[in-house]
Amino acid sequence: MFNKKDLYLLMLEHGMEKLETGATENEITKYFKDAHQYELETTEKRQHFRRVLLDVFSSPIGQGSLGENKLFMTMEAYFKFIEYVELTEARKSSTKATYFASFAILVSIVSMVASIIFSVIQLNSPTTINEDQMEEIKKIQYDASPIVRELKEIKDAQEKYFQLIEKSYNKSLNRIGAKDAPPG
């Protein structure tokens, strides 16, 4: 029995094989019987086979007995076959792309986990400074005088503002006290 590919697809493929030379209906029927074990034992199968045949092939001569006339693949069938091939190739490409994307995701997950593990190991390991490093640190001269100078300026400005606030406060108290005093 015929189970591998759809009859229509097989007919399209055979049409591509016979694209330039053509084939008679009898040759096409014999090909399907021999190459694909497609038997036309029932009327329904024969009708189905003929419908597919006439959809894929046509006679350039026109009407008449198809049995011995050369049939050629129709343009519509030709483009259907090209679309089928493109779809098949697109599916293969899509499958490959899915595998590559999955592999890339797996690599990124593994690298992320490795990074986390190395970070945790580094955080948990004690930090040691050897004598050579300590000597280098001691050699570094840090001039803190600009910072000290700026801090002194800030402190002086704050003292000045506190004095002004205190003077203003005392004046306010004196005015309030003069108003509350008994006349005379």
DSSP 51-82: HHHHHHEE-SS-SS--SSS-BEE-HHHHHHHH
- 108, part of any domain: no
Q: What is the mean pLDDT of residues 57-80?
A: 77
pLDDT tens for 162-183 read 999 999 988 888 887 766 555 5
| 100 against 28, higher pLDDT | 100
Residue 8 burial (CB < 10 Å; 0-12/13-18/19+)?
A: middle
58: which 2 tokens?
């046509």
Tell me: pLDDT of 108 over 60: yes
56: which 2 tokens?
């894929």
Which run of H or E residues covers position 138? helix 131-139
Tell me: pLDDT of 161 over 50: yes
- 110, part of any domain: no
The model carries a pTM of: 0.51
- 111, part of any domain: no
- 146, part of any domain: yes
- 16, part of any domain: yes
- 166, part of any domain: yes
The mean pLDDT value of the chain amounts to 85
Q: What is the mean pLDDT of residues 45-53?
A: 86
The structural domain count of the chain equals: 2
Nearest C-alpha neighbor of 122 from the set 112, 134, 130, 114: 114
Is residue 48 within 8 A of residue 11, CB to CB? The reply is no
Structural domain boundaries, residue 45 = 7-73
Q: How far apart are CA 155 and CA 145, in angstroms?
A: 15
pLDDT for 181 equals 52
User: Distance between the two ends of the chain, CA-based, in angstroms?
Assistant: 134
